Amino acid sequence: MNDYFKKRKVLVTGGCGFIGSYLCEELVLHDAIVDVIDNFSSGSPGNLDFLGNKVKIIEGDLRDVNIAVKYIKNYDYVFNLAGVAYGVAFSNLHNAEMLYSNTTIQFHVLEACRLNNITRVLMVSSSCVYPDDAPIPTPELPVFTGFPESVNAGYGWAKRIGELAATYYHDNHGMEIAVCRPFNPYGGRYLWHGMNSHVIPMLTKKVLDGDNPLVVWGSGEQSRNFIHAKDAARLMMLIMMNSKDAVPVNIGFDNDIKIKDLVKIICELGGKKPEVIFDKTKPEGRFRKAADPSLLYQVVGNYIPAVSIEEGIKDMINWYYLNSNAKTF
């Protein structure tokens, strides 16, 4: 990345979350001047303690447009990671909240950037924008192809609207906007939300908590491409550098793993041998989710992920034990 971010003033909304904290870490490593806005609903300022005074944290909820306009100014780059995002157990029952909160945040960030003459923005969308019958591996389909992922419909619609807004702000106001669609990011520094957590953190916690039998939602045959937050953060920076026309870019690859195999890895690395029960009465989402990385490679080059699924699970296990005062790897 050379000196692209060196001495640049950068704002990361949602920077106290698990992806945001990895992004802040990477930006600091590249000598950026980093600020964060976060309401701490799904992140913690403690995630950035190790960076000391190299990151300034502003507490604020971007669902309030006045907060957005007040604080989102005098930056060279804005990475918008702020949003309300939980696992399918929550999303499936709270579509209205997911639609309202995420749509509102995205519009407020874009409008604050416009009003305060910030012309370089990255908007984080989601693989949930894709329909359940999307081709696999999934290329960057148009934003309104079919309905979004059914178990995350409200969240998916919000992200689609955010992408549409990014296109209009680019076309009408000349803003340079990058858009990315991450596929199932995970990693340490995650704030658990019980049964509302995302799949890897939820399974990791259930295994290490000693659940026996271990109940896993769905058949176990469903598969996902997972990407560690460190790799997601690095790719966001590369996309910010190289994409300016609001064209969405997948952050993900086509090496998906079945949930039953993921459970096996978590149990082996966690040193647990529970009886595993797959509950087919529970929603499992799309049967397979994997990204077509062709456009990603065009934008960022032949990127090779730094964190394997095994190393990523070790990171999650370490995070679990660090938060329960137990041993780590």
Q: Does the pLDDT at position 118 exceed 90?
A: yes
Q: Indicate which CATH number applies to the domain containing 129.
A: 3.40.50.720
Flag whether 31 is in a domain.
yes
Flag whether 128 is in a domain.
yes
pTM (two decimals): 0.94
What mean pLDDT do residues 233-260 have?
97
Q: How far is CA 190 from CA 145, 234, 265, 291, 329, in A?
A: 32, 18, 19, 23, 18
Flag whether 313 is in a domain.
no
Q: Is the dihedral of CA 262, 268, 272, 276 positive or negative?
A: positive
At residue 262's C-alpha, the angle toward residues 284 and 322, to 5°, is: 105
Q: Does the pLDDT at position 15 exceed 70?
A: yes
Q: How would residue 194 be classed by pLDDT, with cut points 50, 70 and 90? A: confident
Q: How many CB atoms lie within 10 A of CB 174?
A: 9
Q: Which domain holds residue 75?
A: 9-190+227-255+288-307
Flag whether 3 is in a domain.
no
Flag whether 196 is in a domain.
no
Number of domains in the chain: 1
pLDDT at 196: 67
Residues 43, 61 contacting (CB under 8 angstroms): no
Flag whether 203 is in a domain.
no
Taken as a whole, the chain contains a residue count of 329
Flag whether 266 is in a domain.
no
Chain segment 59-108, per-residue pLDDT in tens? 999 999 999 999 999 999 999 999 988 766 777 788 999 999 999 999 99
